[in-house]
Amino acid sequence: MALAACYNTIQDYHLCTGIQDFDGISDNGLSIFSYAREGDINQGITVSSHATDLWYNEGYKRLAVYNNFIKHLTDYPGSDISAGDKLNYLAQARLLRAMEYYRLYNLYGSVPIVTEPLTIETQYVANSPATDVFKQLISDCDFAIAHLPNTTFWASQGHFTKAAAQMAKARAYLYTGYNEAGNAKTAELQNVVDLTSSIIASGQYALGAHYRGLFSHSVGQQENNKEYIFAAYFLAPNDSKQGLWDFNVSTMQFYWQSVFALQSLLDAYEFSDGTPYSPTDPRADANYLIRNRDPRMGQTVCKGFVQWEDGTTNTFGTKYTFATYLYWKACDADEVKQNGGVSAQKQNTNNTAYVPLIRYAEVLLSHAEALNEISGPTQDVYNDINLVRARAKMPPLPAGLKIEDMRQRIRNERRVELAFEGFRYFDIKRWRIAPQALNGLKDGLITRKFESPKNYLWPLPDQEVRTNTAITQNPDYQ
């Protein structure tokens, strides 16, 4: 039950059912209602604010849960828990801790390392160098890799496995895989190749048959999907895929029209024959951009109506003239039809729903990216990307690509495959292209701004700095 309380933190809206909102601070999307103050961040971060404080404050609340569990289980003297089970439980909690420090490291850099419950006497913890924060999360990942079972998400009944820990570690090294000039760092990326190669070689995972079936339980392809390495899940009938304020997340996305795609993302989807999109191409339909395009586009965004997998449709009016392509990838037909409107409160469904947080497509894309930077466009790189494209019913990449061309194709493939899954902001930061992607970008509400190098890190919460004199503010915000 205590371990379940740790896992319960995964259902946090911003980490789970609302993860699409995070693309609202990237060049992918617009979060209309700015639940996490995305609009404030998009205007350029100048000082600590509620917008940037949220992830710090909520992160340390989650860390307190994990550290409390780890401390009490480590000190537990009873013999009714076997040594093996004890290590397994500790590994699961430490992986949760690693994933939290991964977010804090990416957003803030230098933060306090807290690995046990704080007391009144120990509450003032200084922030550690970012390199030490990174070492801490890698240490937790290594412990998890050593002690979690080498089995599947389904065989573990939804608990963490070795592959989940390997992918968490691979994400960390992928994020540090480029220097400030955007050039690849071989040692870090070799770690990514090794970790993802191990997952691929295990043979335990495969791409699911239907792209949108990964995200919508109404399609009926979530249960036992071999693409899931880890997912949050909501057990019917008492726990449905909630959004905010007791509203079902499908109601928020469909009726409130809370998240939209920006033109930059829409342009990234190729024509269905694999050629890059151009608005002057005869196949381009200015009134309905989804026509003749990569099938993932129509399974991710919609305009004016959706056609569900059972053949029925829902039509909706355009609420905003500056944003017309609505994000709908994770919407569930039964929830939309059952809730029936903008004012409908959350209703439970008869289906257990899943939100995939680590999936095999990400493994393939990460392996391809790292391997291409180290060895160029090898056959393994082509195999990885073409597997992902084939599931989407897209043709394979052309032979003979140079490393630079393959790099751009991989980055574009990652963008469209993982759209609105919370990756894009971190990707444009680690590739050091955030200023080019964001500066001057008009989203219909504001013109976006990203100040380099300042905004590559966020300020620590001003209240924390004033309360805890041991903490030092990030240099660009002092």
Successive 10-residue mean pLDDT values, the chain, 478 residues: 96 94 97 91 91 94 98 95 97 98 98 96 95 98 98 97 98 98 98 98 97 94 97 83 79 86 98 97 97 98 92 86 94 76 56 93 98 98 98 98 98 98 98 98 96 96 93 93
CA 327 to chain centre: 15
* Distance separating alpha carbons of residues 51 and 461, to the nearest angstrom: 10
Q: Same domain, yes or no, for 414 and 472? A: no
Distance, in Å, from the CA atom of 383 to the CA atom of 389, rounded to the nearest integer, reads 10
CATH code of the domain in which 420 resides: 1.25.40.390
pTM here is: 0.96
- Give CA–CA dist 289/296, Å, rounded: 12
The alpha carbon of 389 is separated from its chain's Cα centroid by a whole number of angstroms, namely 20
Tell whether 38 and 130 lie within a shared domain. Answer: yes
Residue type, 37: R
Report CA 113 to chain centroid distance, whole Å.
23
**One domain for residues 249 and 328:** yes
How far is it, in rounded angstroms, from Cα 238 to Cα 224?
A: 21
What is the per-residue pLDDT for 368?
Answer: 98
3-state secondary structure (DSSP) of residue 48: coil
Q: Are 456 and 382 members of one domain?
A: no
Residues 141, 248: one domain? no
8 Å CB contact between 411 and 268: no
- Provide the pLDDT for residue 315: 86
119 and 14 co-located in one domain: yes
- In this prediction, residue 376 carries a pLDDT of 98
**Number of separate domains in the chain:** 2
Res 251: pLDDT: 79
Residues 259 and 405 placed together within one structural domain of the fold: yes
Same domain, 472 and 414: no
Cis before residue 459, ω within 30 degrees of 0? Answer: no
What sign results for the dihedral spanned by CA atoms 118, 476, 100, 84?
Answer: negative
Give the model's pLDDT for residue 343.
52
Does 252 lie in the same domain as 108? no
348 with 211, same domain: the answer is yes
Residues 339 and 200 occupy one common structural domain: yes
The SS3 of residue 289 is coil
Residue 75 is part of which domain span? 2-180+433-477
| The CA-based dihedral angle spanning residues 257, 262, 265, 270, taken in that order and rounded to the nearest 10 degrees | 90
Phi, psi at 29, each rounded to 5° = -150, 175
Instruction: Please tell me whether residue 467 adopts helix, strand or coil conformation.
Output: helix
Q: Does residue 367 sit in the same domain as residue 460?
A: no
Q: Give the model's pLDDT for residue 255.
A: 82
